[in-house]
A and B are shown apart, each in its own frame.
Chain A
């Protein structure tokens, strides 16, 4: 892969190295290829003790404790498992806006997360979605897959409408290994966004939602008289922009975000808003700081 004219150039790679270093500092207890699963089971790291009951595997009985306490105590280990990471990248037409475009920003984030995940021997899948699943990269593991992931991300183009609900129903309709679903989107989805999240949640997947917005979306700068044309469905709305209207816009945007954030908070999912006008690594670091991306 040539690094000179693509999204993932040498500069990007240098930034990834920085992110990798920062991720190592922020997650010192993490070990390469060892991600604790929520499921308690047959791992080697002791997680807890509990009284022995009939039917438990006697191999897990702590005999030393039995000798000291004269009680059968069962050692409980975290199950060591590969953590599948599903990166859902929104490639609808609305992602083409911004400078840099939100789509590029999302791709870089996905590339960075893929890099860190593959470096940690996670199982990484990348999904393009718009009105439906437009393409996906099958789960890959190992650092040697990193350029494959980059090539996949580099080949995407924005266009069309968005339906996360249809995408999730389609993707999670098939049996998937439980993992972490990362959604990189502007969440400008007319359809039932929370219903889509439910489809993921009902499959016991963890989820992290990154809403990528441009500075213009966060603080619109419009002429006094504007005819707003939706880039996805072509619908038009005439507005007379006033400070009061802009306040209402930001209030509505905040309500939209709060609704998603509240949902994520209720079910233990992660949520953050990324400004495409800021360096993408800041957004990645913000994700790490939430302590929800890698467990």
Chain B
């Protein structure tokens, strides 16, 4: 039998208990002196009574005092039954994989079950035991053993972690290979065997795995229709993992958007087989979109039942055409019903008081201004400016081109997978007066990306920050590009790309946003703790939701969803055939019995006190 309390505490408890008992005997009232004529009769009475009762009264008093003292000592010492105690150094590795969030049939989660197991291990250990608490996400490391109390506090700070690579930590390396701690420490792994199926030899494994039925969203995306960038559709992939083999199951899919728009689908999903569904977002306006699934019966993991996205399109674009009148641009822009066009004459005055509150996009054809406008820019023309990519100059360019400045667009390579150029055909496109960008200027340190051009000539460049911008290396009016069949689509895509809200999709866990400075806000407008990592901002996207990163006049919508097939498959455990560990009742009793013992001791002391005053004891 071990004791849960420290030896010093036990000794103090024993001394204190003995002191209290002695004091209680001392503080009993002194007899009141009474002078009587004679003790003759009293002596006869007392002698007779003493013979018969005093022994038993003394014995009862002694037994009660001993029981009270023993109960107090046991309450302080917290004895632990044989087998329920652990001693020495104990390394506890907690499985913090997302699957540990799975709900159990009894109402708790695998994580709560694992944490309770560890608490009982702590409670069942001797006071001199030392602990090293590690996790599979690597958030807790080091080789320092800590006491029971600190270990319990550390346990409270742990929990399932998303978006990380989970693996069993190299305990021997942490403790130092061949060190005494590595040789003598008991290593216990508490988990469900889903993300971390194996533990090294010699590790005591405590399984909290129980089959858990689950359905989850493993993919969710809002994308523009290729034929109409102003319209969107949602693609959603759903998977279902029942606890036991069953027939096809029905998953109800609900998509809600801004302004009360919603769509509902009922999807038949085979167990373990992802099922994809495309839902046109007809009637959905720009803003958040949330997908929620529901199944009949239990669903063990709630984090994968919700996914978020964002419809980025703007319904109305305020476009300023600088350098007008320009009938060509005016006609082309007015073809897009979203565009509200205003025209300003060429010159720096037109761009003087420009801001994002009054204009969504500025279109410039002609000489570039010296300073970059503070809004997205669609530039086409010649001339140099610091904010534009450097040019090669006016010289012969490209194969098949005419001497000087004429280029056939199809012969140059480009990023045909880019949203702007995807599936577009400019086979007959020709550009004159080309002042090509210097492809050497497009490097890692440049904010511009070459979309169209070859190894020497850059014809079309795009930039993400601080505002999205497009720059053509030639005047559109000096090319036959507008005469191409796909030009209206290119322009529509360009307008959308330049003005759409920037959306970034991330998984749950630590998320990063490319933003030099700014803050993160949740969907309720509360700022989320974040930190800068170089040119990025990192924050904890712990729940499926939309977050907003804002800074430097730029806003990025971050849609955080789990979308993890592995996490949704809660039953893919290497320990599936094993029985889950049962909680150690002995340790529970040991930790819970001391208040009962203390109460029992108190009752005994009170009983002795009352018995003394009723002259039942001495």
Chain A residues at the B interface, C-beta cutoff of 8 Å:
93-97, 102, 186, 188-190, 214, 217, 222-232, 235-240, 242, 245, 248-249, 252-253, 256
Contacts and interface: CB of A to CB of B under 8 A. Distances in A.
B418 interface: no
Contacts of B30: 225
B331 interface: no
A217 B32 contact: no
A228 B41 CA distance: 11
A248 B45 contact: yes
A93 B40 CA distance: 14
B45 A245 contact: yes
A97 B37 contact: yes
A225 B41 contact: no
Given A242-B615, A245-B49, A248-B48, A227 B41 contact: no
A249 B42 CA distance: 7
B42 A229 contact: no
Contact of B29 (A188, A222, A225): A225
Given A223-B32, A248-B48, A256 B37 contact: no
B44 interface: yes
Nearest to A246: B45
B41 A249 contact: yes
A214 B37 CA distance: 9
Interface string B601-618: 000000000000101000
Interface in B310-325: none
A102 B36 CA distance: 13
Contact of B34 (A186, A214, A228, A248): A228
A248 B428 CA distance: 132
The main secondary structure of chain B at its interface with chain A is: mixed
> Which of B30, B38, B613 has the most chain A CB atoms closer than 10 A to its own CB?
B38
A224 B31 CA distance: 8
Interface in B571-618: 613, 615
A253 B39 CA distance: 11
Given A225-B30, A225-B32, A231 B37 contact: yes
Given A227-B32, A239-B42, A248-B49, 14 more contacts: A94-B38, A189-B40, A222-B34, A223-B34, A226-B31, A226-B33, A227-B33, A228-B39, A237-B39, A237-B43, A242-B615, A245-B49, A252-B44, A252-B48
Nearest to B57: A240
Contact of A235 (B33, B39, B41, B44): B39
B63 interface: no
Interface in B45-101: 45-46, 48-49
A93 B41 CA distance: 16
A159 B30 CA distance: 29
Nearest to A186: B37
Contact of A237 (B46, B48, B615): B46
B35 A229 contact: yes
A222 B48 CA distance: 20
A167 B33 CA distance: 32
Contacts of A224: 613, 615
> Which of B34, B36, B37, B49 has the most chain A CB atoms closer than 10 A to its own CB?
B37
A253 B38 CA distance: 12
The 8 closest A-B pairs by CB, nearest first: A188-B38, A94-B37, A225-B31, A230-B39, A227-B31, A223-B32, A97-B37, A240-B615
A226 B32 CA distance: 5
24 contacts: A95-B37, A186-B38, A222-B34, A223-B31, A223-B32, A224-B615, A225-B29, A225-B30, A226-B31, A226-B32, A226-B33, A227-B31, A227-B34, A228-B35, A228-B36, A229-B34, A229-B36, A231-B35, A232-B37, A236-B39, A239-B31, A239-B42, A239-B46, A248-B45
A226 B34 contact: yes
Contacts of B40: 188-190, 256
Interface string B1-44: 00000000000000000000000000001111111111111111
Contacts of A237: 39, 42-43, 46
B288 to A, nearest CB: 81
A245 B41 CA distance: 12
A289 to B, nearest CB: 27
Nearest to A162: B38
A252 B37 contact: no
B36 A231 contact: yes
B36 A252 contact: no
Contacts of A232: 37-38
Contacts of B34: 222-223, 226-229
Contacts of A102: 37
B35 A252 contact: no
A229 B44 contact: no
Contacts of A252: 41, 44-45, 48
A227 to B, nearest CB: 4
